[in-house]
């Protein structure tokens, strides 16, 4: 299944930082594939954080945005 905009929400926004939440019936592997969130590339910024509730796990990830893709990765 592909990204669904209605399952993405903003939890908090301040000073150019956004905390996102996304819940879907897909696996974490599918959701964290590079480009999965490209439909909202203009809304997300590098350094934003996303809480993902996937079918197989829940995780907090950091967001990185390039000119061509949104990627999510482990917090460092």
How far apart are the C-alpha atoms of 14 and 25, rounded to whole Å? 29
Residue 74 lies in a domain: no
Residue 60 lies in a domain: yes
Residue 72 lies in a domain: no
pLDDT tens digits, residue range 15-63?
Answer: 999 999 999 999 999 999 999 999 999 999 999 999 999 999 999 999 9
Residue 48 lies in a domain: yes
The range of the structural domain enclosing residue 53 comes to 5-66
Domain total in the chain: 1
pTM for this predicted structure: 0.94
Residue 9 lies in a domain: yes
Residue 50 lies in a domain: yes
Residue 58 lies in a domain: yes
Residue 32 lies in a domain: yes
């Amino acid at each position: 299944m592909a990204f669904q905009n209605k399952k993405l929400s903003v939890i908090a926004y301040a000073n150019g930082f956004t905390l996102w939440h996304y819940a879907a019936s897909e696996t974490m592997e599918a959701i964290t594939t590079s480009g999965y969130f490209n439909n909202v590339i203009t809304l997300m910024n590098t350094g934003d954080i996303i809480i993902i509730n996937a079918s197989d796990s829940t995780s907090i990830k950091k967001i990185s945005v390039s000119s061509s893709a949104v990627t999510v990765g482990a917090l460092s």
